[in-house]
Chain A
Amino acid sequence: MKETSSSRIFQGINALIMTLVVFFTLYPFVYLIAQSFSSEAAVYGGKVSFYPVDFTALTYKVILSKPDFFHYYGNTILYAAVGTLIAVTATSVMAYPLSKDKLRLNKFFIPFVLFTMYFGGGLIPNYILVAKTLDMRDTIWALVIPGAISAFNVILMKTFFASLPNELEESAKVDGLDVYGIFLRITLPLSKPILATITLFVIVGIWNSWFDASLYIQSKEKWPVALYLRQVIETAISPTEIGASSEQANQIAATVKSAAMVLTSLPIICIYPFVQKYFVQGMMIGSVKG
């Protein structure tokens, strides 16, 4: 097809607008990185914009030299790993039967699930359930179990499973597979896109969550790194607390927040490019197929 000039103009303007959007989205992060590597004088003087001024890695050195930081990091990795495993397993096991049209009770269960997406118990009832009734206070389970099944994820998965052709399952049944076999050997291998999407959603959610931890976790050793970061940002933890001497404290006070933020979001940023293609696919999967 020959490109008309109007189509080219459109593409040009489109590209321009998209570039601007990318710039505005990226800029805060670029600024954060630049700030975390700059000297304190430059930060206060407002001289930092795109790149570090008076490059210094002192702040990173100080934060990383305190063993607690790595301990919290390890906690978060543990919570993310366990939580994602539980969440993805539970969500897929719940979504699979919901995707079968011929099960008549689905007409009750699907709206039931949808209902929870709009209405919730609120903070206090949740707290009473998790902390008192189920007694999960100060354990990893308080962080991974309550949020494991999100109604949104279930609907997403259910739609994907429903889009898989029935013939595959029927032929598998003819070959002698039972329901569990079909689920494990036919359905799941075909569902890699949606599984990757849900995994990414859940991992990012658990990685960034500090509120649940602040509610249910009492012992400081069990803190996820997001909660530690929140303390740093609340300037509760003065730089001397996280291991600097008082001369250093002056210097890094300006940059300790941005350095902590960069360190905490780094792993997610590293993972993202690898799962990005599944993510893009996955977002479209929820839409109706013809």
Chain B
Amino acid sequence: MNCADFQAGLQASLDGTLSTDAGEWDRHLASCQGCRELSVAAGRLRNGLRRLEPPTPPLGLANQIVSHALAARRTRLRRRVLAVTALAAGLLVAATLYVLLPQSNVPSVPGNDNVVQVPPVSQPIASLRDSVAEAGSALAELTQRAADDTFGQTRSLVSGTVKAASFDENRVLQDTLDPPARSLREAGQTVTMGLEPVTQSARRAFDLFLRDLPPLSANKTGL
């Protein structure tokens, strides 16, 4: 028996399908230090696994299911907040960006940049709302494209590089760490739920702020 045969046998013994000659096994162990260490490690693993309790439904499973459902709802809300944020950002930034990257075709009085030829009020305020909303969407598109070019590409590059340099063959550690990790996730969900009055108020404050901005109030419901 060589080391490769031994390792295959050891794996089979862990899988519960071992059919190797015990004498041959012992002779190899007696002559090979590396495989002896391997055998001891496997013995420890068996002992550890035997002492693990069978899986039981986690505490607060029902709450967890409800939390997942709420999380999906929160995701939808988050998307809506993002859309609204884009519009709000549009209001604040559109004018600025337009100034930073000048391509204005607005007629101005020569010699005085601050005075413009103001046509009479002829268009209803709905046009202002529509246009600001449209500008907000345009800004959101621009921001998304810029973000895709930076964060998206970076994430893709880093995840690809990390994946290329790693391998996943050891689930023992993961299985050991899973119960405490699950407890922590549940505690985290409970804390998130506990802080909902604050997060809901933040969303409500944001909605009220947008409602108070006359050009946006009519379009809010359409988001």
Q: Is the A/B pair a real complex?
A: no
Name A residues whose Cβ lies closer than 8 Å to a Cβ of B.
Answer: none
